[in-house]
Structure 1
C-alpha cells in the first residue's frame, strides 16, 4: 500500500506500507525480501526511494527482525550479507539480481532508520480504523465527548438562533432586537442558554459518530428524531415558543433504535431539533 505525500506521487515523497496477512509473526527473511523488492525497483527508476517503510503486521514481527528495525545500520548490513541467499532470486521471476551498481547504491542511499512497524494494537487504537471496525464487526464506538458551548454565538448557529429569536419575539410582541436582548431577559435568558447547550451537545454527538461510525448511521438517527417530532410540530400551538417547548418535551421522550441508542441522551435528542432547523428540515412555524 502506498501513501503519496503530494501530487507528484512516485516522483515525490511517498510512504510504503507493507501489508500482508501472515499466519504467524513476520520473519526476518520475509522482511528483508520486502525491503529488497522496493529498493530494487527504486534503483530501476520505477519510483524514488520511499520516505518511510512501514511493516503492517497484525501478528507482529519476530524478535530478530525487531532487533534489526531498532538497529538501522545492522538492518543494512544484514540485507547486504543475506542478499544472495534471501533476495537475489526472489525479486524477479527467473532472474538473479546481483548486488551491484544502482541496486547497491539504492541500498546505501536509503535511510534504514525510516523502517518501522505497526502491530494489531496500534491498528485497533487508530481512530481512522473505527468506522471500518464498526461496519465489519459492529464494534461499539464508545461514548462521545461532551460539547462545549462558546461564549459568543457562532456564525453556524445563526439559523436556529434566529428561529428562536422569532419565537421569543412572537411571545413578547417584538421586544427583542438581537440574541443578547433575549439572554438579558429574566425569563427567557436561561431558556435560550439551555437551547444552545442542547445544540452543542448534539453537535459533539454528530461529529464523533460521523467520524467513528458512518454518515449513514447519523443520517438514520436524525431521520428517527425528525419523524418522532413530526406530529408535535404539526399540532396546534398558541405560538411558536409553545411549539418549541412541546417539541423539546417530545424529543426528550423519544426512544431511538440502532447502534447509537445507548448514547442518545436527552440533550442530544433535543439539540438535534435545532440542527434540523439549521438544515431547513423543520420549522417552528405551524398551525395555531
Structure 2
C-alpha cells in the first residue's frame, strides 16, 4: 500500500468502505480534478450529497499527515459546504497509509482544540485563505464555529487492513486464498421458476430420443429411462447456482459472470459443431466443459467438475447454448 499510486489508494479506500457497518446506499469514488474535496463518499440516502453522507479523504503522502496538510483540506470542505455544493458530511475521515503524525493525532482527539486551531488558521494569511473576500471569511468562520469537530477523525492502517479483509475484494487485491466454500445443497424437489429454460431444453433432448412418449418437466425426474440423467443435470445446475451465490459474497462483482463467459468461450465451438442428436451435443459439451483451461480465473480454485457442467446449464438457461438443432 505504501507504493500505491494516489488513484490506486483511492480505489483501495473505495473497496474498504464497502465493508463498513454503515447502511450506505452507495459508496462512490469522486477523487480527481474537480472533486470538490471528496475522494471517496459513503452516501446514506438516495438524496446523495443533499442528505447525510460520510467523506473519506484519501491522502497518499510519503510522510504522516500534519496539521499543515490537513487543515487546508478541512477549509476546502467548509468552502464547498458554504457554497452549497453539498451538505455538511456526518463524518470526515483522513485515510493515509502513513497515518497522522502525533500533533494531528492529538488535535483530532481533542475536538475543541482542533476547532481553535482551524479558526486561528483562518486569519493567518496562509495560501488556503489569503485570497478570500472578507464576507467569505466571515461566513466560513460562522460555519466553523457552529460545527461539532468530533466529525473529524483519522482511520488507522490496522483498521483499514482488518476492514478490507472482510470485503469481496481482499483475496483479489492481495492474492490470498478464497474463503472456504460450503458443499452445495440438494436441489428442491419442485422445479423453480428460474429453472424453466434449461429444463425445457433438457425435455427437448429427451423428447428427440423418445418422440412417441410425451414428456413433462414436472414428471421427468421419475422417468425410467431419462430420470436419473435429468436429476444429475439439476444437481449440476444447483452446484453452479451455489457457486454464483458464493461468488456474490466472496469476490468482486462480475467475477462469476466472467467465469460463465470463459466456459462459454471454451465450449461454444463444440456446441455449434454437427452432432447426430441433442443428447450427443449435450454430452460432448458437458465433457469438454470439465477440461476447459480456466487456470487464469480466480474462481478456479473453488470450481469443481459439477460446477462446470452446471455452468453449461446456466448458459442454456439464457439460450447462450442450445442442445437440439432447429432445422
Q: TM-score, structure 1 length as denominator?
A: 0.73
Aligned to 1:155: 193
Deviations 1:227-286 (A, max 9, x none): 36336x63224xx34543343223223333533444442112211211221221221114
The gaps in structure 2 that reach 5 residues or longer are 1-38
Q: Does the CA-based 8 Å contact 2:57-2:94 persist in structure 1?
A: yes
Structure 1 residue 20, shift from structure 2 partner: 1.8
Q: 1:52 aligns with which of 91, 94, 102?
A: 91
Q: Which runs of 4+ in 1 moved over 6 A?
A: 96-100
Structure 1 residue 80, shift from structure 2 partner: 1.1
Cα distance in 2 between the residues matched to 1:205 and 1:106: 52
Cα distance in 1 between the residues matched to 2:237 and 2:59: 45
Aligned to 2:12: none
**Greater helix content:** 1
How many pairs are equivalent?
276
Residue 79, structure 1, aligned to residue 120, structure 2: no
Cα distance in 1 between the residues matched to 2:223 and 2:276: 27
Deviations 1:126-149 (A, max 9, x none): 636469x66xx8x46736845545
Aligned to 1:17: 56
Cα distance in 2 between the residues matched to 1:198 and 1:144: 19
Aligned to 2:128: 91
What are the equivalent positions in structure 2 for 1:41-190 lying under 5 Å apart? 41-63=80-102, 65-66=104-105, 68-69=107-108, 71=109, 74-81=110-117, 83-85=119-121, 88=124, 89-95=126-132, 101-118=138-155, 119=157, 120-121=160-161, 124-125=164-165, 127=167, 129=169, 139=175, 142=178, 145=181, 147-148=184-185, 151=188, 152-172=190-210, 173-179=212-218, 181-185=219-223, 188-190=226-228
Q: 1:144 to 1:255 in 2, by over 3 A?
A: farther
Aligned to 2:293: 255
Aligned to 2:32: none
